[in-house]
Structures are given as C-alpha cells and as structure tokens.
Structure 1
Amino acid sequence: MENSALHALRLSVSNLNHPLNTPVSTLVFACGLPASHLMVIGEAPGAEEEKKGEPFVGRSGQLLEKLLNKSGTSRTGQGAQGHYITNAVNWRPPNNRPPTKTEIELCNPYLFKHIELINPKAILLVGATAAKAVLKKTAPMATLRAENPHQIKLLNGVTVPTFITYHPAYLLRNPAATTLFLEDLATMKSYIK
C-alpha cells in the first residue's frame, strides 16, 4: 500500500516528459511494502512487466524472487523480511534494449526521491545499468562486486549501503553465477536486520 508521498511521486513520474512515456506505454512504478528494509533496483521493465504494470514478473523476476525468498525476504514481508522493487527507468525501452543515458538521467531525480521515501537500510542494484544509474559506476561487474558495499548519500543526508550484483537475466544465461549472487545476498543480509 502506497502512502501519500509515494502516491504523489508516482503521479509525478507518470506525468514526466520522457521519451519512453508515450500514450501506449505503461508506467511500471514499484512493488512491495514501503516498510521493507531492502530496496532492489533494476534496469527497466521488460515485456511481461509492461503487461502487468509491475517490476520483475517475467522469467528474470521469478528467479530474482526465488533467490530473494531463499535469503529470507519477500515482496509481502515488512522490515527485515521484506523487499521493495523498482527500476532505474519506469517504462519499457523499445525491443527490450537497455535504457539510454538520457532516459536514465531524466528518471534519476525521481529514483533518488523514491529511495528517500522508502528509506531502506540497504539497496541491491541488479545489473550494470542500475549500478550506472545510482552510483555512476561503469566498471566490470567483478570489480563492482569486489567493492561492495558501496555508499550513496541522499539529499536528506542519509547514507545507504548499496550492493551491486548480477541481473537475474544474466543468471538465466549463466547459472554458475547464481552462487556469486547468493554470496552478495548473504553479505548484504547483515545490513537489513
């Protein structure tokens, strides 16, 4: 359930003058309970997410949910047992291409406001695009993971430990990397208690 500030943010995002916000596009804002200690940020919605209006519901999302559940959090949980999910960009890019730098930059002020409103104890960035959007980092994934936890300082002065890991779509193509993803979750878990 959204509080009034999240609802106002959703309305602002839905009215954003953005190249992907067209009359035929669907806003994919977020899911989960705002009282969750963990905020998960992905790249952008895919076809399934656009159909349902909810992030991470396709094959990648099902794997992500399974792995997060295995670590003890769920979309319906609160506090340390919950996770709240959104994307760096709230509309699906054509042909499921990665969002452009401009598309990400237009959404960034709203994404950071979203983070402030959720006020998570930790953030999990899944994939290179999310890492670039939130931390402005573009190193190889192995390097980014080795530097976990990263820190972001929000405008309200709060510093949030931030972890970068593989996108679940990558895990579907490279199942051996699932072990590394689970290691990242285990490391992050101590921050959301």
Structure 2
Amino acid sequence: MIRMMALTVTISNVMGDINEGDADTDTVVANASSTNPDGSTVTLTLSDTTNYSIDENGVITLTAAGAQIVNNGGDLPDFTVDATSTTGDSGSAPVNPGNTLDTDDGLTVTISNVMADINEGDADTDTVVANASSTNPDGSTVTLTVSDTTNYSIDENGVITLTAAGAQIVNNGGDLPDFTVDATINNRR
C-alpha cells in the first residue's frame, strides 16, 4: 500500500505594500519552496497564472497583467501555491500580497469656449465667459472654483458667468480682470 503524504509548502519574503506605478514583470511577490521526505521531485504551480508566474527556483513574480493592476492603483488578488510530487503527494499554501498604495495622478483642468470680446452695455449675469472641466484619473469627485469670485461665478457644470460686478465693469467700458480655475478633490475613492 502506497501512503500519500501531504507536502509542506513554505512561503517567504511576501511582498509588502507597493506604490501604484512601481510594478513590472521583475517585481518579486514571494518565494515558495517545498520538499518531499521521500525524495521525489516536487513541482510548484500557482492558482492564478494571469497575474503571477513562478520560476523553477520558486520565485513568484508579476506578469504584465499583474503589474498593470498595481500600476492602475488596484490591489493584487490572493492566490495559492500548489505543490505536487512525482509520487502523488501534494500540498498548498495561500499567499496574500501587500496592498497597492494609491498615488495622486493629478488633476487636469480644461478651459473652453472662452469669450473673445463683448460690447459695452451687453453684459449681464447670464453672460458666459468660459466653460471649465476637470478629469481626475483617480476617479475622485472634483470641485471647480474661480480665483476671482467678485467678477465671476462658476456653477456645478463648470459654466463660468459674470457676476453683477463683472457685468458692471463691461457695461462701464472696462476690461475684465484675469482669473484662474482651480480644481480640488472632494473625496478619495
């Protein structure tokens, strides 16, 4: 009677937290090893070969898909290392890689439809000066504000209009002052 033995799988040097954008296919996630007391050959495999690969020395690294998860700010999934021997023995061990630390990818503010000229006497609080928009790669909610709230107003859609004071400048024949549009992150995902 052949008795099957459970193999012990040892996981070491498990990757801690990693910064978004710092991963590639050389990123080591962990090391795995297993020996069989009966001396038979042991093969190590992974439950997730989409995001991880393992070499003949038991070094587990990220695949291009795994690196992309990290570089896009996602956390890597857990996986299992399985060991099987040529005599039919087997064993496994779970691996829980570190989390991805999100990096602020920055905000982009776009100004469009900027008013070129306006005639004296034609301005009011409905006069659209420009449109502003912002995209945030991190997916957070963004609020747009104008630096000069005396002469300009911006709504939740990014439409910038004149205030009564701004309209008065135009209607009195003056030139409107410059302003900036600022984007602020309201909450993190």
Name the TM-score class by shorter chain: under 0.3
Q: Which one has the bigger strand percentage?
A: 2
Larger radius of gyration: 2
**Structure showing greater relative contact order (alpha-carbon pairs closer than 8 Å, 6 or more residues apart):** 1
Give the TM-score taking structure 2 as reference length.
0.20
